Amino acid sequence: MNEQNLQSVAFPTLDETQVTKLARCTQAELKLFRDGQTLFAAGDRNLNFFIVKSGEVAIVDFSGDTPKSLTIHRQGQFTGDVSHLTGLPAVVSGVARGDCEVYEVTGDALRGALNQCPAISDIILQAFIARRQLLRDSPDFTGLRVIGSRYSADTFRVRDFLSKNRVLFRWLDVETDPQVDQLLKQFGLTESDTPVVAFGSTQPLHNPSNRELADAIGIHQPLEALVYDLVIVGAGPSGLAAAVYGASEGLRTAVLEDTAPGGQAGSSMRIENYLGFPLGLTGSDLAGRAILQANKFGVHLSVPTPVNRLSFENAYTVVHMEGGETVTAKCLLIATGADYRHLGVEGSDRFAGTGVYYAATLAEAQLCSGSQVVVVGGGNSAGQAAVFLAGHARRVLIMIRGDDLHKNMSSYLARRIEQTPNIELLRNTTIRRMNGDTHLGSVDIVNSQTGEERTVETPGVFSFIGADPRTNWLPPEIERDAKGFVRTGADLAQSRYWTAARQPFLLETSRPSVFAAGDVRAGSVKRVASAVGEGAMAVQFVHECLKHM
């Protein structure tokens, strides 16, 4: 969508009939705000939604050094963005410009209307999505500021965490950004305090943990003290699909996610084989849309919430989270997917986050622009990474252990790699050692056929050598295969942990009412579409289980 179209989708004007209908179905209250009065402020949660009847509401960004007016809403226009659905804090403020009359709608009433009035719901939802995109691209919006070095693993962790959670932020690189000295001085800090996360002129955070950061910026939402019909562990494609189907079918549903919604797919810059998206889409887009959908139906999504243990009380499952919190579930879905395999060569752990990366998104690409980078692996994820990085790096070397790129990679990707001039394929090649001081400088590589060794200068190695299931937190009651993937299905009727009189459902584990879906499940197809399909299918079995509880 071009900028002009995006603007018109982001800021539509409702006609009088639409305004009246929306005001009526949300039981909106008509209110008068005087010039300069605040309707809502950045940081507010569960904020109200406003439709302008007369006058003007300015949307102002207070996160930079001086307040900036980003847009003005006039008669028939409305405030708000995706935070109405996610329940996360507002990132901008709404201030009356002159006296204005507005219809004020509570967050709950708005969510109800979005589910009940499809015609107006489409206009509002599209506007919310488009506004986020405009804000993300706007040079006038500051948002959070992350000040840190490209060579710092903690700076990378903070940036990675924020971008995976779709938080709007600006990164100021200590190595190159001319504003850094002045800003640090302003906060009374020095370079040794970095990474620093700042919002406006409030006291900045120094090297916060992911959880501290999530608490400070309001993206961590505590769980409610109730028994959920369905608790899902993991918010990759399978967990998010189950969340959307569960909540839309009336189940009290919670999703607990370790780092950020999206899972492995969230680190793909181009998924081209997902049905219905002929132009492909980024994993982050797919996850962003799924999160909105899940929130629209009232899913409780808790991030960052690593689950480290399960216990069982009668028919229910108790889910234990890091920090000691627990939540009880009538049915549980294990959707924890798989995790990248570490490279395991000399230096690879030392340079994790400062030269060795297990994903290739814009966050990593920014660190390597104009340089030579190395991609390790011969599967589709390595192929996608190589093609994406070729658009940012000067040269990409893709290394495979065997000699046939077509063996494990889809042929459309393998052909694209062969046709991209700045990608070079190194067959029969592995990395022997990584070299550098505070950050990666070069790697020693060896050809297994010829024995030839050489050193390649590079600031970035991107590894995609397969993944292992994330199941080490599961108790023995959940049976796994020799590789650690969760077993499901009828065979488990023979398990010593199976206690029900009926046969296990297709996606049910050895413990009744505990299910598994997606990459974590033994025998699953490791693809986005199949993970989504399994997540949706699991909900059908959850309904069957609940009928007998």
Ligand X SMILES: Cc1cc2nc3c(=O)[nH]c(=O)nc-3n(C[C@H](O)[C@H](O)[C@H](O)COP(=O)(O)OP(=O)(O)OC[C@H]3O[C@@H](n4cnc5c(N)ncnc54)[C@H](O)[C@@H]3O)c2cc1C
**Contacts of residue 392, Cβ cutoff 8 Å, sequence gap at least 6:** 365, 366, 368, 369, 370
H-type alpha helices, 57-152: 83-86, 107-116, 118-137
Position among 235, 294, 492, 514 found at the interface with ligand X (CB under 6 A)? 235
Task: Check residue 365 for interaction with ligand X (CB under 6 A).
Answer: no
Q: How far is the CB of 330 from ligand X (least distance, A)?
A: 19
Task: Check residue 410 for interaction with ligand X (CB under 6 A).
Answer: no
* Closer by beta carbon to ligand X, 114 or else 465: 465
* Closer by beta carbon to ligand X, 134 or else 242: 242
Footprint (CB under 6 A) of ligand X, residues 11-50: none
Task: Check residue 147 for interaction with ligand X (CB under 6 A).
Answer: no
Footprint (CB under 6 A) of ligand X, residues 453-492: 470, 473
Position among 55, 80, 518, 533 found at the interface with ligand X (CB under 6 A)? 518
Position among 194, 380, 429, 488 found at the interface with ligand X (CB under 6 A)? 380
CA angle 150, 155, 157 (to 5 degrees): 120
* Closer by beta carbon to ligand X, 88 or else 335: 335
Instruction: Return d(Cα 47, Cα 92) in angstroms, integer.
Output: 12
Residue range at the interface with ligand X (CB under 6 A); choices 189-197, 399-407, 444-452, 516-524: 516-524
Q: How far is the CB of 136 from ligand X (least distance, A)?
A: 22
Task: Choose among 480, 436, 481: nearest CA to 455.
Answer: 436
Structure letter (DSSP) for residue 222: P
Q: Do residues 265 and 291 lie in contact, with contact meaning Cβ atoms separated by under 8 Å?
A: no
* Closer by beta carbon to ligand X, 81 or else 258: 258
Instruction: Return d(Cα 276, Cα 529) in angstroms, integer.
Output: 11
* Residue 97: half-sphere exposure toward Cβ, Cα within 13 Å: 15
Position among 208, 236, 347, 353 found at the interface with ligand X (CB under 6 A)? 236
CA angle 510, 234, 221 (to 5 degrees): 125
* Closer by beta carbon to ligand X, 194 or else 361: 361
Instruction: Return d(Cα 228, Cα 513) in angstroms, integer.
Output: 13
Instruction: Return d(Cα 461, Cα 3) in angstroms, integer.
Output: 35
Q: How far is the CB of 333 from ligand X (least distance, A)?
A: 10
Instruction: Return d(Cα 148, Cα 194) in angstroms, integer.
Output: 5
Footprint (CB under 6 A) of ligand X, residues 282-301: none
* Closer by beta carbon to ligand X, 134 or else 397: 397
254-273 mask for ligand X (x: CB under 6 A)?
Answer: --xxxx---xxx-xx--x-x
Task: Check residue 377 for interaction with ligand X (CB under 6 A).
Answer: no
Position among 21, 350, 427, 526 found at the interface with ligand X (CB under 6 A)? 526
317-346 mask for ligand X (x: CB under 6 A)?
Answer: ------------------xxxx--------
* Residue 544: half-sphere exposure toward Cβ, Cα within 13 Å: 16
* Closer by beta carbon to ligand X, 62 or else 357: 357
Position among 80, 239, 377, 512 found at the interface with ligand X (CB under 6 A)? 239
Q: Phi, psi at residue 54, to the nearest 5°?
A: -155, 155
Task: Choose among 232, 217, 243: nearest CA to 307.
Answer: 232
Place of tokens 């996606």: 507
Q: What is the dihedral of CA 384, 390, 391, 392, to 10 degrees?
A: 110
Position among 26, 155, 238, 317 found at the interface with ligand X (CB under 6 A)? 238
Q: Do residues 427 and 439 lie in contact, with contact meaning Cβ atoms separated by under 8 Å?
A: no
Task: Check residue 187 for interaction with ligand X (CB under 6 A).
Answer: no
Task: Check residue 160 for interaction with ligand X (CB under 6 A).
Answer: no
Residue range at the interface with ligand X (CB under 6 A); choices 127-135, 349-357, 493-501, 520-528: 520-528
Q: How far is the CB of 280 from ligand X (least distance, A)?
A: 8
Q: Do residues 135 and 91 lie in contact, with contact meaning Cβ atoms separated by under 8 Å?
A: yes
DSSP string, 297-321: TT-EEESS--EEEEEEETTEEEEEE
Q: Which amino acid belongs to residue 429?
A: T
Residue range at the interface with ligand X (CB under 6 A); choices 92-100, 111-119, 180-188, 230-238: 230-238
Q: Do residues 69 and 200 lie in contact, with contact meaning Cβ atoms separated by under 8 Å?
A: no
Task: Check residue 61 for interaction with ligand X (CB under 6 A).
Answer: no
Q: Which amino acid belongs to residue 204?
A: P
Structure token digits, residue 95: 């201030």
Total residues in contact with ligand X, by rule CB under 6 A: 37
| List of residues contacting ligand X (CB under 6 A) | 233-239, 256-259, 263-265, 267-268, 271, 273, 306-307, 335-338, 380-381, 384, 470, 473, 518-520, 526-529, 531
